[in-house]
């Protein structure tokens, strides 16, 4: 970890935080989700660097150590796509492998369609290949209960009031514990999402108090203004790319115990092979004990899968 270097690059007038380790022409760019940050890739960055790759992990605009856009409430997934391309341009990188988690999967998929010449492969964890608007799952969306956390956080002001009752570190603790479960977080009508988890509940065994302190510190700096806008308040907005195809080789790594697997229609979308209509050259791997945070929970297994896939497509 001490060998990871940190700096900022300019992206459309904003300073974006970039963590890097390793050297050489083979580049892997890691894209985080929520409640994650560049730090969530710490195990993978070191591993791929040791395997001969240059590892880069960014904080999207408004997250962690990156600057907020001037109007966070107007941010979109397209802005995050621009962040990825701007980082590549700033660092003089022509083409890279993308590894993305959670909502980062939407960003990676959009980059794969809009900028295919910049992408060697795409590896996704926790969320399969989807686009904003969730078009392959549209017919199932009416099955989502109204207390589902995603619907609650889409409402401006709702999550702000819920989160605001706690310090940032406690919010991240609750979200990490909640998202580590195998059941989707759903609140009752008279219940707040943050109250689904007791503040004194223990962390998952693979996340230390030191890790939590790091996350808490980074979100203390950034707050949640941009994080609630992207992904939650833009997730259902179509991006106009539904007819696109991703030509780069893809890999999806999903935990069998990931609560996302119970999102209406999602498991069938993966297991039926329908996802391959979007990404024809696709491998899918399930980890039996994996939860939503497979890269932190099972780093050795995930690192092996990532590096094997990268090596296969770097020959």
Which residues participate in catalysis according to the annotation?
102, 232, 292
State the residue for tokens 């115990």.
257
CA 71 to chain centre: 22
First to last CA, the chain: 28
Q: Cα–Cα distance between 72 and 58 in angstroms, integer?
A: 18
Question: Which residues have CB under 8 Å from 223's CB, separation 6+?
Answer: 168
Alpha helices in the chain (DSSP H): 42-50, 77-90, 104-114, 149-154, 158-163, 168-179, 209-222, 225-227, 266-271, 294-297, 299-312
DSSP 218-237: HHHHH-SHHHIIIIIITTTS
DSSP secondary structure letter of residue 148: B
């Amino acid at each position: 970890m001490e060998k990871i270097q940190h700096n900022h690059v300019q992206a459309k007038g904003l300073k974006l935080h970039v963590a890097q380790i390793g050297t050489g022409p083979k580049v892997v760019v890691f894209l985080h989700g929520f409640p994650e940050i560049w730090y969530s890739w710490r195990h993978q960055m070191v591993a791929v660097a040791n395997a001969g790759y240059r590892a880069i992990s960014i904080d999207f605009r408004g997250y962690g150590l990156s600057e907020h856009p001037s109007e966070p409430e107007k941010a979109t997934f397209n802005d995050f796509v621009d962040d990825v391309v701007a980082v590549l341009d700033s660092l003089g990188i022509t083409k890279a492998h993308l590894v993305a988690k959670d909502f980062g999967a939407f960003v990676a998929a959009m980059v794969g369609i809009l900028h295919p010449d910049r992408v060697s492969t795409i590896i996704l964890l926790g969320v399969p290949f989807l686009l904003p608007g969730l078009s392959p799952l549209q017919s199932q969306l009416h099955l989502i209960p109204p207390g589902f956390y995603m619907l609650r956080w889409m409402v401006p002001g709702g999550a702000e009031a819920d989160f605001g009752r706690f310090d940032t570190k406690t919010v991240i603790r609750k979200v990490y514990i909640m998202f580590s479960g195998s059941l989707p977080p759903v609140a009752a009508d008279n219940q707040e999402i943050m109250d689904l988890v007791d503040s004194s509940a223990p962390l998952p065994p693979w996340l230390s108090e030191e890790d939590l302190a790091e996350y808490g510190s980074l979100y203390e700096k950034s707050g949640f203004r941009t994080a609630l806008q992207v992904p939650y308040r833009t997730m259902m907005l179509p991006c106009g790319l539904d007819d696109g195809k991703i030509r780069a080789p893809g890999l999806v790594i999903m935990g069998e115990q990931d609560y996302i697997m119970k999102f209406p229609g999602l498991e069938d979308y993966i297991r039926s092979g329908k996802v391959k209509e979007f990404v024809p050259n696709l491998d899918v791997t399930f980890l039996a004990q994996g939860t939503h945070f497979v890269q932190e929970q099972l780093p050795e297994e995930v690192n092996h899968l990532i590096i094997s896939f990268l090596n296969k497509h770097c020959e």
